[in-house]
A = this chain, B = another copy of it.
Amino acid sequence: MSVDTTCISTIRTLAADVVAKSNSGHPGAPMGMAPAAHVLFSQFLTANPSNSKWFNRDRFVLSNGHACVLQYTMLHLLGYKISMDDLKLFRQLDSLTPGHPEANHTDGIEVTTGPLGQGFANGVGLAIASNHLAAVYNKPDFELLNNFTYVFCGDGCLMEGVSAEAASLAGHLQLGNLIVVYDDNHISIDGDTAIAFTEDVGARFLSYGWQVLHVENGDSDLDGINKALNEARAEKSKPTIIRLRTTIGFGSKEQGTHGVHGSPLKADDIVALKTKFGFPPDEKFYVPAEVYKFYGEIAQKGASAEAKWNSLLAAYGQKYPTEHAELTRRIAGELPQNWEKALPVYKPTDSAQASRKLSEIALTSLAAVLPDLLGGSADLTSSNLTKVKGSVDFQPPATKLGTYAGTYIRYGVREHGMGAIANGLAAYGGIIPFVGTFLNFVSYAAGAVRLSALSRVQVIWVGTHDSIGLGEVSCLSTTFGVTNELHSGPTHQPVETNAHFRAIPNLAFWRPADGNETSAAYSVALKSKHTPSILALSRQNLPNLEGSTIERASRGGYVLIEEEKEDLTIVSCGSEVTIAVEAAKKLKEQGIKTRVVSLPCWLVFDQQDAQYRLSVLRSGAPILSLEALSTLGWERYSHEQYGLTGWGASGPYQKVYEKLGITGANIAVVGKKVVDFYKQKGGEVVSPLVRAL
């Protein structure tokens, strides 16, 4: 038996044993893709198992994350920090080997996968990141960055729209460093793919501008796999997909059926499998010594590669000290000194501006000191105002539309793909991605957004047109000098979006009320290396508020208008804070003392100490919340809520606000009603923050 065959048999039997031990998991794809994994990891993938974070490593993504036993097994055999005991704890509570691969949790896992299609799109992001940083930092004789991104995926990943979006963009961007191995095993959960997936995948990828290769016998044709991977690497101006025909659950009695997709093999099947492979039939978790030795040598090669690279980097530092300092800072994930000075600061006398415009001003200022920023929009650039003036597009040089050193990505109308690509950009390191669309259409990318938060990567969403105030009057785009894309009506107006994103753990949802709050949102978002942020920004102009500062807003919530012995507090955020201030003024004229609290980010506010929070939302008078979106969840911070109870409406924004009662005049009436109600009710009014739990 050749060592290659022994290795592959080891991977297959380990996969069967690990899934059987946990009595849960997917043995089929790992057994089917074992040969491809072996060839890739032993002959192509350059990485250092003893330092999984080496920056110029090749990236590997298992987009069909349910096959993670394959990845865990490879990482274990290569010497990453996954022991045999960890493998035996597969899918157990708090283990390093959860049911799907989790980045920032298990050594060697680049991105969190499992939700289908995400890993594929993450891979596009990784490949973009590599091309970008190479274009920025490589110099003649210093090819510091030249790594490949390899993605394994199954038919499920290719059925998902998110991968279709990412694949089309990857073709356009001519990402020659992206190589996808498609496990064409003809089996999905419902049975043969003939029941739902009969498209010509190869032809589809050709239409996207990819190189398409094919290996007919993925079960044992190691030379064929090697040849395909070599061809893929040789094609410098196209991403490659290799259609690898495999047999799911290869070696099992049930191979080639969906019976081996998501269930452990039966005990007698495993015995038969091992016998067939010439392995001790009753020994579990068997790894021949030569297999550890073989992969140990591969790992050694990786360590040498890193050592060589470190020397190259040091020499680079001699010749290009500025670039070296910047690159190593970015690799370390640190922000440059004094970057915060670039945050715009506003006075109440400064002119009113839309917060999307304030965002543009902040980004323009920040981009000058933060080359880490790599922005883009899903074809709404002139609406989102995400393009920094003078910035170059990230485009293949051949198109003459930009360069790979460009810092602005034209994502096309592909929100979900964009979100998942941004997760890949962030996971690569050295890059802080920001992406733009209408707030309402961040929902299209919900699958990617929750994975940003779960996998703790820093992505900043610029979600403009953040409420019913979409307006109907044209405005001039500063970027293009042409009139702007405008929308209106409930199809484009978010309602549930605030509740949706506020309920996601580790996601900072910001609705800044003015210039300083917008700067605060950027400040906190940029400092949060492990928390994604969504900045919900207005289309309509917002005055700069008396009392707002970057520092105060950076606490997530603060008292904007203070009153002794108040009758009422109005808590609000975003464009409605101005309306709250107006209402408070009207109420004061009636002798009703009204405080106003601005609460731009719940996640950040909740992280403040209890004393501070209780000083902001204090007991003694009723608290009324105001937001031109769903009221759901505001009960946490207020006694009474005012907001949308249904959909928005199509019309000029002032009229829409009037129709829905979100005006200073009406909120004053509502506020009076609240005050009267609590007076009549009697008793102490206790802050909603005072809780037993």
Chain A residues within 8 Å of B, Cβ to Cβ:
22-25, 65-66, 91-95, 98-100, 102, 112-117, 155-157, 159-165, 168-169, 171-172, 188-190, 194-204, 206-209, 258-259, 261-264, 377, 379-383, 393, 395, 399, 401, 410-417, 440-441, 443-444, 446-447, 450-451, 454, 472-474, 482-492, 495-496, 498-506, 622, 630, 632-633, 635-636, 639-642, 644-647, 649-652, 655-656, 659, 670, 673-674, 676-678, 681, 683-684, 686, 688, 691-693
Contact = CB atoms under 8 A, between A and B. Distances in A.
Copies of the chain in the assembly: 2
Nearest to A671: B692
29 contacts: A23-B474, A65-B491, A93-B655, A98-B490, A98-B649, A99-B488, A116-B413, A160-B414, A161-B164, A161-B165, A164-B164, A171-B199, A189-B485, A190-B379, A195-B393, A195-B395, A199-B209, A200-B207, A263-B483, A443-B446, A454-B490, A498-B503, A499-B503, A500-B503, A502-B632, A505-B647, A633-B635, A678-B692, A683-B684
A410 B196 contact: yes
Contacts of A676: 692
Contacts of A472: 22-24, 91, 99
A632 B286 CA distance: 48
Nearest to A635: B635
A643 B189 CA distance: 32
B673 A487 contact: no
Contacts of A207: 199-204, 206-207
A114 B446 CA distance: 19
B485 A262 contact: yes
Contact of A168 (B199, B412, B413): B199
B454 A450 contact: no
Contact of A379 (B163, B189, B486): B189
B505 A495 contact: yes
A192 to B, nearest CB: 9
B381 A194 contact: no
A399 B196 CA distance: 11
A441 to B, nearest CB: 7
Nearest to A411: B196
Contacts of A447: 441, 443-444
A102 B648 CA distance: 13
A289 to B, nearest CB: 31
B693 A642 contact: yes
Contacts of A677: 691-692
B156 A413 contact: yes
Nearest to A449: B443
B169 A165 contact: no
A223 B259 CA distance: 54
Contact of A650 (B99, B171, B691): B99
A169 B113 CA distance: 24
A100 B487 contact: yes
Contact of A188 (B95, B116, B379): B379
Contacts of A25: 486
A657 B133 CA distance: 44
A503 B492 contact: no
A261 B647 CA distance: 26
Contacts of A636: 632, 635
The 3 closest A-B pairs by CB, nearest first: A161-B161, A263-B483, A635-B635
A534 to B, nearest CB: 13
A161 B417 contact: yes
B188 A413 contact: yes
Contacts of A199: 168, 171-172, 207-209
A248 to B, nearest CB: 13
Nearest to A101: B491
Given A195-B393, A379-B190, A382-B190, A450 B496 contact: yes
Nearest to A633: B632
A399 B194 CA distance: 9
A304 B93 CA distance: 69
B195 A659 contact: no
Given A91-B488, A632-B632, 6 more contacts: A91-B472, A155-B413, A161-B416, A190-B379, A201-B207, A673-B692
A98 B488 CA distance: 8
A98 B262 contact: no
A114 B487 contact: yes
A190 B641 CA distance: 39
A395 to B, nearest CB: 7
A413 B160 contact: yes
Contacts of A161: 160-165, 414, 416-417
Contacts of A491: 65, 99-100, 102, 112-115, 451, 454
